[in-house]
């Protein structure tokens, strides 16, 4: 196993650059995107695209493994769990890099058979790293963490490729639940890289910055 340990700032810049290059992120102020909540915004991210780009996915998974080793410790975990569904492939790749067993967590019991939320082997003595593609406000992570803890295992860390970084209550919400968030980049990193590359026109970038600075206010103003 050979993992790079670049600085968090370099990881953020290169991750943002990769996401822009594979068009996993997009900005559109003229025709805002509609989110799952029904609210709108000028930013969009789809980390699932990463799995179709071998060089990008390999690099970002190396970054994620390096990040948790540096920030949590070399022997902090005994199991890696991917969250259904987007977190499953990333969980598997991180588990491979860390040389650990891999499991995954369902959003809800499947309704037949064992009616389990945890697939794979997870023991009461395990220290589990929850891996997901992204987090917005941290809400979905709490359900996955609770399912892991219901087995008797410990789960005090979650790692994501992309953290929105625009809702200040997110990290505190996770911390209150005993969970530390590790991430590779945020919208601010993507905006900085988009400006460096002149990837979008100046008016769009200005509007995106306005949204990132006050997302609730921007949504109230723009429907």
Q: Is 0.75 topped by the overall pTM?
A: yes
pLDDT of residue 2: 55
Confidence of residue 167 (pLDDT cuts 50, 70, 90): confident
Cα 101 to the center of its chain, rounded Å: 20
Which residue bears the tokens 């025709």?
31
Q: What is the CATH number of the domain that holds 204?
A: 3.40.50.2020
Within-domain flag for 3: no
What's the structural domain count of the chain?
Answer: 1
Residue among 110, 109, 100 nearest 131 (CA)? 100
State phi, psi for 14 to the nearest 5 degrees: -70, -35
pLDDT of residue 113: 56
pLDDT tens track for 88-125: 999 999 999 999 999 999 998 876 656 689 999 999 99
pLDDT of residue 109: 82
Domain housing 96: 8-217
pLDDT of residue 222: 84
pLDDT of residue 159: 98
pLDDT tens track for 22-67: 999 999 999 999 887 677 899 999 999 999 999 999 999 999 999 9
Mean pLDDT of the chain: 93
């Amino acid at each position: 196993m050979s993992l790079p340990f670049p600085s968090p700032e370099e990881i953020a810049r290169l991750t943002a650059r990769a996401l822009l290059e594979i068009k996993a992120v997009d900005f559109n102020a003229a025709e805002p995107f509609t989110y799952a909540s029904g609210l709108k915004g000028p930013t969009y991210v789809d980390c699932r695209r990463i799995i179709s780009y071998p060089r990008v996915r390999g690099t970002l998974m190396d970054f994620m493994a390096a990040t948790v080793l540096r920030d949590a410790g070399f022997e902090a975990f005994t199991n890696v769990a991917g969250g259904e569904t987007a977190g499953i492939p990333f969980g598997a790749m991180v588990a491979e890099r860390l040389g650990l067993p891999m499991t995954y967590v369902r959003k809800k019991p499947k309704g037949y058979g064992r009616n389990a939320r945890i697939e794979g082997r997870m023991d009461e003595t395990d220290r589990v790293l929850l891996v997901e593609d992204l987090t917005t406000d941290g809400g979905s992570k709490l359900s996955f963490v609770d399912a892991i803890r219901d087995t008797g295992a410990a789960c005090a860390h979650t790692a994501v490729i992309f953290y929105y970084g625009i809702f200040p209550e997110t990290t505190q919400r996770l911390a209150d639940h005993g969970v530390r968030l590790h991430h590779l980049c945020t919208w601010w990193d993507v905006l900085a890289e988009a400006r460096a590359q002149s990837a979008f026109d100046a008016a769009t970038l200005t509007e995106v910055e306005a949204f990132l600075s006050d997302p609730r206010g921007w949504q109230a103003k723009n429907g």
